[in-house]
Structure 1
Amino acid sequence: MTIIRYTPIKEIPKIRETLRATFKAGVTRPLEWRKHQLYQLARLAQNEADAICDALNKDLSKPRLEVLRTEVGNIVERATKSAQKLDVWAAPEHPDVPDWQKGWKPTILKAPRGTVLIMSPWNYPFILTFQPLIGAIAAGCCAAIKPSEVSPHLSQLISDLLPKYLDPSAYQIVNGAVPETTRLLELQWDHIFYTGNGRVARILAVAAAKHLTPLALELGGKCPVLVDSTYDMDLAAKRILWGKCNNAGQICVAPDYIIVPRSKQGEFVESLKKAYKTFFPDSALGASHYGSIVNDSHFHRLSSLLERTKGEKVTDIIEGRKDAARKRIEPTVVKNVQDGDPLLEEELFGPILPIIPVDSLDEAFAFINARPHPLVLYAFTEDPNIKQRRALCLPFTVCFISRKHFIVIDETQSGGLVFNDTFQQLTVDELPFAGVGESGYGYQVMKYTYDTYTQLRSSVDIPKEAERSLQLRYPPHGPEAVKALSRAVHLPIPQSALNGH
């Protein structure tokens, strides 16, 4: 394994001070400077694509096409598009106000938050390092970037490449493990963006609270999948299995467990087998388009889960064969999983698909809602009725036909909601990506990342000519002044549709 050149701990405060000095000097303020940095970041991704693919193959055995499709290409496109849209994003806004306030020139200014800290994970280390950085650059912030030591080849590569493309006085890498991270968190930052797990996020939140530092936390969780009995099982299985196979399931939006009508479990399993044979005619273990588990620790964690589960491992094709030398576990389906099973304890973050059979939609919702809110909820249904029903749930088939998408929206909570596919929400740059509750908070992707690092700074400019209308505010207050200044207290309140019920 490559040894990352860790940043000397004594240098970390100096890095922060360099970044702060750059920000205070106004270097990052001009929009043309920001655009240039964004285009440079796009060039880094484009020019160094081969080196990035090679590093991620060494760290995760990631297939080249997967890296180009999900990491490199997205950074090229989003950095370029952000530069092209920056003038619109950064333009001051002028809210609609009453006529008597229009002369005050009420304005919403877009101000950068300052010097920020970005902490990225190992599973998609290129895009999840640079996607938050795109927003920081666009907003006019300086940034310290702490990549994961668990993906050492990629972390060292971006440490070497970044100063060749971006202004090193404004953007610097801090490499290291727990001691280096601890030192970073002892310092004051104007914003912290962390992608990872809830355990570390709690440590970050405590550290940030000491400085009242705002946070964006993208944490993942167990993303459930609901499959309607009337949906095409072959299509659902193909789309779900494809989602689970991305990076061998090591991604926060991977389908974590599947809820199906009990009567359809067998058919769904057979559909998964067919999809697997299509994707991997000669087994996933040796396939060049299938990744490995990141390290021995995670490999043994997943192996232990498969040994401890009380569910039934599906044999014949998708039975969980392993290659310890290459840290590979083929996609593994476990059916008849019950509440309390080891597979339901925490986010799997691996290629295991538990199936939970239920008898009604209410039972499915109760199962989902008894757990922390997921980052994404997937639902496979083509309900034709498009109507809302509030009655108690009938058996699953009847219930799911007669209830609509809105029921899934109304009766569950999740960061995102995706109907009839997996992962495709990540391709829509115009949608915000965020968790809720245990799956995190704060928004990202394109303008939403820009907004995360931007303070909406309110401004008014009261002209001398406004003094006549402001005269009433000065004491002493006579009866007419009191009446005028308190008029809002006596505004009529409209009747609502629910009045009297």
Structure 2
Amino acid sequence: MAVDTKIPPFEATSLDDVARYALEARAAYASRKTKDVEWRLVQLRKLYWGITDYTPKFLAALKQDIGKPSTEAIIGEIAFLLTDLNLTLQKLKTWVKDDTDLDYPLTFSPLKPHVRKEPLGAVLIIGPYNFPLMLNLAPLIGAISAGCTAIIKPSESAPATAMAIKELVDNYLDPGSFHVVNGTIPETTALLNEKWDKILYTGNPTVARIVAKKAAETLTPVALELGGRNPAFVSKATNLALAARRLMWGKCTNAGQVCMSHNYVCVEREVVDDFIKYLNVSYNEFFPQGPKASPDYGSIVNERQFDRIKKMLDTTSGKIVMGGETDKSKLFIAPTAVLVDSIDDPMMTDESFGPIWSIYPVNDVKEAIKVMNKVDPTPLSLMTFGSKSENEQVLSHVTSGGATINDAYMHGAVSTLPFGGVGESGTGAYHGRASFDCFTHRRTVVATPSWMDKLLRVRYAPYSQAQLKQYLWINSSKPDFDRNGKQIAGLGYWAWIVFGLGGPTAKGALIRWFTVLTAGYAYFTQSHRLTQLLS
């Protein structure tokens, strides 16, 4: 389908339409049509073709909004979404099946416990400006696959992409089930005043607190995808040239406006000078004529963000060791590294969310870990370039939403793996199967057969001590640990070893039978004491 690549001027959605869209989304979900898996697959296929058809328009919009080079737009947004869609289309019929492989006592087997996958309902997706296509449509893939209806609120800071997304949704997806609301604070406030079954917000912690507080008023669950002062560690044991090249890539992509990019790099002191040298080598390789003249380097999204980033450079006490050039008229800030000597420097305390970062010398990995845990205990991303032992120490002692060894945030580049933060960097995860789970309620279901009523006599009044003893006899088991918490390799342990030789299927069956056969033993060890107390 041919799509006009002309981008219309940004137009805010009327507040009356905001209320109408929310009402339609709830009504569409109430119709139960979204529970049909085939209906979901049709919507996902249409979304696939919509993204494909709109690719030229999206490339133009992303260039207009944030100066994004087409290669970055294709790899980081469009191809990313299509890969996520392909996996979802292939796996959805498997994901929606009831879970029956569950852990429960053998005595409850006749109830046939299982978990159904139910859509949460009508959901709200609020996206950011830095990846304004992918970070709006990737959650939508999850919402559709789970059987939800959805309203998308793109960032007004990427107006061209926001309008293109609205066109795509209006032209390709089910009317009434999916809408796009464009606007600023009034429109967002109107959306938050509506009742949703889940809200997914991507952005900064300040707004996240507003969203979470508003959602709490109606007990609406939220998924928050935020950022943080993401750290990296560079050891003398690593390939310094490769580490510098890969970290440079991480800060040049999207002009550093990436929630996972490093805010600072802890570099072992004795190799700081060499690391800086290799950074400058990569800088010159990436941009032979300088980044300002390069078609492969983006711009800062707007003047407000330019001023915020520039202020960090203006107030730092550190030394600029690479880059440093800025031009407000072009919203241009060169990839810039600043050597600092204090964790209280603005380059360390403020989140850059741009192409600037600090280099902080450390004596060893242990000092790096202390710095990381003090600067930001729960960043979204963590990168480590060290020996196997050093990398393991960093992973074991520093918490983060995701982590990459020997590269810059590649854990977030795989579109089908769970992506999310922890603590201040967010809650919840999506992408791939995690997107389906994000908008799905796991509903436990059992069916009690009529013939079980005699076995359930214990629950009916008048209560019977004899029935209680029988219940405890059947359901009790002896712990395989002593009062000090030490595990005991007793009869059950050896039975596991013996029966385990028969393979997983045989093992499962034999273990269940063993549980029944040894119930009498459990009675004499545990239930006898309990019934004595009750008598």
Pick the aligned partner of 1:85 from 88, 91, 102: 91
Pick the aligned partner of 1:322 from 319, 326, 332: 326
Equivalent runs, 1:458-477 vs 2, <5 Å: 458-477=444-463
Q: Which residue of 2 aligns with 1:284?
A: 291
Q: Which residue of 2 aligns with 1:105?
A: 112
Displacement of 1:283 in angstroms is 0.4
Q: Which residue of 1 aligns with 2:491?
A: none
CA distance in 1, matches of 2:455, 2:483: 38
1:64 aligns with 2:70: yes
Pick the aligned partner of 1:76 from 76, 82, 85: 82
Q: Which residue of 2 aligns with 1:214?
A: 221
| Contact kept in structure 2, 1:41 and 1:76, CA below 8 Å | no
RMSD: 1.8
Q: Which residue of 2 aligns with 1:233?
A: 240
1:350 aligns with 2:354: yes
| Contact kept in structure 2, 1:34 and 1:83, CA below 8 Å | no
Change (3 A) 1:90 1:406: same
CA distance in 2, matches of 1:346, 1:211: 33
Moved more, 341-350 or 57-66: 341-350
**Structure 2: which 5+ runs fail to align?**
1-6, 488-535
Displacement of 1:381 in angstroms is 1.6
Displacement of 1:428 in angstroms is 2.6
Pick the aligned partner of 2:373 from 361, 369, 374: 369
CA distance in 1, matches of 2:229, 2:8: 32
Change (3 A) 1:419 1:496: farther
Per-residue displacement from partner, 1:43-90 (whole Å, max 9, x unpaired)? Answer: 111111110000011111110111011101111221122011100100
What SS does structure 2 have at the residue aligned with 1:462?
Answer: coil
Pick the aligned partner of 1:454 from 440, 443, 448: 440
What SS does structure 1 have at the residue aligned with 2:33?
Answer: coil
CA distance in 1, matches of 2:449, 2:142: 36
1:23 aligns with 2:9: no
- Percent identity over paired residues: 37
CA distance in 2, matches of 1:61, 1:81: 30
What SS does structure 2 have at the residue aligned with 1:344?
Answer: helix
CA distance in 2, matches of 1:135, 1:38: 10
Pick the aligned partner of 2:430 from 438, 444, 447: 444
CA distance in 1, matches of 2:154, 2:402: 26
CA distance in 1, matches of 2:451, 2:417: 44
Change (3 A) 1:98 1:336: closer
Displacement of 1:333 in angstroms is 1.1
CA distance in 1, matches of 2:285, 2:474: 68
Q: Which residue of 1 aligns with 2:231?
A: 224
Per-residue displacement from partner, 1:355-413 (whole Å, max 9, x unpaired)? Answer: 00011322211111112410011001232xxxxxxxxxxxxxxxxxxx44332222111
CA distance in 2, matches of 1:379, 1:27: 47
| Contact kept in structure 2, 1:39 and 1:80, CA below 8 Å | no
Per-residue displacement from partner, 1:143-174 (whole Å, max 9, x unpaired)? Answer: 01100001011111111221111112110001
2:465 partner letter: P
Moved more, 426-435 or 6-15: 426-435
1:348 partner letter: S
**Structure 1: which 5+ runs fail to align?**
384-402
Q: Which residue of 2 aligns with 1:389?
A: none
| Contact kept in structure 1, 2:245 and 2:282, CA below 8 Å | yes
CA distance in 2, matches of 1:203, 1:304: 26
| Contact kept in structure 1, 2:127 and 2:155, CA below 8 Å | yes
CA distance in 1, matches of 2:198, 2:450: 38
Q: Which residue of 2 aligns with 1:379?
A: 384
Displacement of 1:21 in angstroms is 0.8
Q: Which residue of 2 aligns with 1:116?
A: 123
CA distance in 1, matches of 2:485, 2:179: 59
Displacement of 1:438 in angstroms is 0.2
1:158 partner letter: I
TM-score by length of 1: 0.92
CA distance in 2, matches of 1:167, 1:500: 59
Equivalent runs, 1:46-445 vs 2, <5 Å: 46-94=52-100, 95-314=102-321, 318-370=322-374, 371-383=376-388, 403-445=389-431
2:119 partner letter: P
Displacement of 1:424 in angstroms is 1.7
Change (3 A) 1:2 1:356: farther
Displacement of 1:425 in angstroms is 1.3
CA distance in 2, matches of 1:497, 1:49: 64
Displacement of 1:300 in angstroms is 1.6
1:92 partner letter: D
Moved more, 137-146 or 419-428: 419-428
Change (3 A) 1:487 1:438: farther
What SS does structure 2 have at the residue aligned with 1:130?
Answer: helix
CA distance in 2, matches of 1:500, 1:136: 46
Change (3 A) 1:45 1:471: same
| Contact kept in structure 2, 1:23 and 1:141, CA below 8 Å | yes
| Contact kept in structure 2, 1:106 and 1:461, CA below 8 Å | yes
CA distance in 1, matches of 2:16, 2:473: 61
Q: Which residue of 1 aligns with 2:479?
A: 493
Q: Which residue of 1 aligns with 2:511?
A: none
Per-residue displacement from partner, 1:95-138 (whole Å, max 9, x unpaired)? Answer: 25444322212110000000000000000000000000000000
Displacement of 1:210 in angstroms is 0.3
CA distance in 1, matches of 2:370, 2:47: 45
Q: Which residue of 1 aligns with 2:467?
A: 481
Change (3 A) 1:490 1:464: closer
CA distance in 1, matches of 2:156, 2:314: 29
1:6 aligns with 2:19: no
Q: Which structure shows the bigger proportion of residues in helix conformation? A: 2
In terms of Rg, which structure is larger?
A: 2
CA distance in 1, matches of 2:342, 2:18: 48
